[in-house]
Amino acid sequence: MTRKQRIGILISGRGSNMVSLIEAARAPDYPAEIACVLANRAQADGLTKARAAGVPAVAVDQTALESREAFEAALDAELKTFRVELIACAGFMRILSAAFVARWHDRMLNIHPSLLPAFKGLDTHARALQAGVKIAGCTVHVVRPEVDEGPIIAQAAVPVLTDDTPERLAARVLAAEHRLYPHALSLFLKSQMRTAGANLDDRQVSVNQEKALFWPPLS
């Protein structure tokens, strides 16, 4: 059996995508194990959920540190303590510096609640409804210094209904995220194994694009 790679999950709140990754990693044939969960807020609900699941969980409280550099140094130190090989951002609501992203180049993923490159940033569901789109969704991508930029690994589509509100659409997209993130992480890790860690082109991830880019739409 191929060795599982050690994943560190970064969260800021309830950690629902974190839970989906933890559950997926329990499968013997899943290519990842969750080494730790780190939160930038001491009161993040996901910390309690991670500990209940038997995963080490640590708060690196951004309010207790004097600078962005100090926070990122503390975060990096925890990742090294748990021998993390790849970071999965799962509702991590803090922009990381270009220097931090560079240290983890091609080793940090993020999930965003839109079909990137559409609707980067916040308030994605309200903006999608205002724009009148018929299909929304979510994206897992490799992190780059720019917000919500980077090679796309996989996407899941969610139809927009005529009576949707931002809250209703958000709930259905979140359900899709819970299925997409474990799928995309597995694809990415298996691709890395094949390419022996070669740098990714900023426009393409070295996985089977036909299968990975457009995951079957979810209702």
pLDDT at 219 over 70: no
Total structural domains within the chain: 2
**Co-location of 180 and 214 in the same domain:** yes
pLDDT tens track for 190-202 = 886 444 445 555 4
**Residues of the chain with pLDDT > 70: what percent?**
87
- Rounded to whole angstroms, how far apart are CA atoms 100 and 9? 15
Mean pLDDT for the chain overall: 89
Ramachandran area for residue 169 (φ above 0: left; ψ -120 to 50: alpha; else beta): alpha
The enclosing domain of 125 has a CATH number of 3.40.50.170
pLDDT band at 203 (very low <50, low <70, confident <90, very high): very low
- Report the length, in residues, of the chain: 219
Task: Provide the domain limits for residue 207.
Answer: 111-219
Domain boundary among 104, 132, 150: 104
pLDDT band at 66 (very low <50, low <70, confident <90, very high): confident
Peptide bond just before 113 cis, omega within 30 deg? no
Q: Mention every residue, 6+ apart, whose C-beta is less than 8 A from residue 41.
A: 12, 13, 59, 61, 62
**Co-location of 121 and 215 in the same domain:** yes
pLDDT tens track for 67-110 = 999 999 999 999 999 999 999 999 999 999 999 999 999 999 99
**Residues of the chain with pLDDT > 90: what percent?**
83
**Co-location of 90 and 174 in the same domain:** no
- Rounded to whole angstroms, how far apart are CA atoms 145 and 112? 15
Domain boundary among 104, 135, 152: 104
**Co-location of 214 and 125 in the same domain:** yes
Out of 105, 112, 125, 141, which one is annotated catalytic? 112
**Co-location of 116 and 219 in the same domain:** yes
Q: Is-catalytic flag, 178?
A: no
Instruction: Please return the burial class of 43, using the count of CB atoms within 10 Å of its CB with bins 0-12, 13-18 and 19+.
Output: exposed
* Nearest one of 128, 148, 152 to 140, comparing CA atoms: 152
**Co-location of 97 and 125 in the same domain:** no
Domain boundary among 104, 125, 159: 104
**Co-location of 91 and 119 in the same domain:** no
Among the ranges given (34-38, 154-158, 201-205), the one the predictor scored with the smallest mean pLDDT:
201-205
